[in-house]
Amino acid sequence: MTRVSFVAALAVLAAASAANAQPLDGKWWKNPNVAAELSLTQDQSAEIEKIFVRSRTRLIDLRADLEKKQLDLQVAMDDKTADRASVEKKIESVENARATLQKTRALMLLDMKQVLKPAQWEKLVQKQQERRERMQERRQRMRDDGERPMPPPPRRPN
């Protein structure tokens, strides 16, 4: 796989994580249908689970840190006496926390990718892209029908 396609694939899966959903909803490596389609071995599934567990605590902490910083920013934005410099620092703090969370998620996905064979990774990325396209089509149909799209599912811990 070329460097460009790797970066694109990583971006697709990172975007899925950014939307607070693991690729293909949840622990895709434990889903029997996905595992079969990818020809995922028990060893691969166990190794991906280890990566997930190892990363999960850090992701939870980073998400909590981001939420706290977002709250601090909101309080500062609501404060009529807040000065621009202090609000700007809080904005920077939120964006740095968000970047750290995204980087950690992306590195977790990279570790998972390295467990898979190239064809398995490509199939996983393809399935995620197909899922995203189906969701977009569904939302568009709902808009066309004058219905409101369903809200996103509640956030699940990684």
By C-alpha distance, which of 125, 107, 117, 13 is closest to 54? Answer: 107
Kindly list the domain boundaries of the chain, sorted by start residue: 3-144
d(CA 16, CA 102): 11
pLDDT in tens, the chain (158 residues): 555 555 455 554 544 444 433 444 579 999 999 999 999 999 999 999 999 999 999 999 999 999 999 999 999 999 999 999 999 999 999 999 999 999 999 999 999 999 999 999 999 999 999 999 999 999 998 988 876 666 666 766 55
Alpha helices in 79-117 (DSSP H): 84-115
Structure-block tokens of residue 26: 């949840």
Q: How many CA atoms lie within 13 A of 28 on its CB side?
A: 25
Question: 49 exposed, middle or buried (CB, 10 Å; 0-12, 13-18, 19+)?
Answer: middle
Alpha helices in 19-156 (DSSP H): 32-38, 42-78, 84-115, 118-144
* Region for 146 from its dihedrals, namely left if φ exceeds 0, alpha if ψ lies in -120 to 50, beta otherwise: left
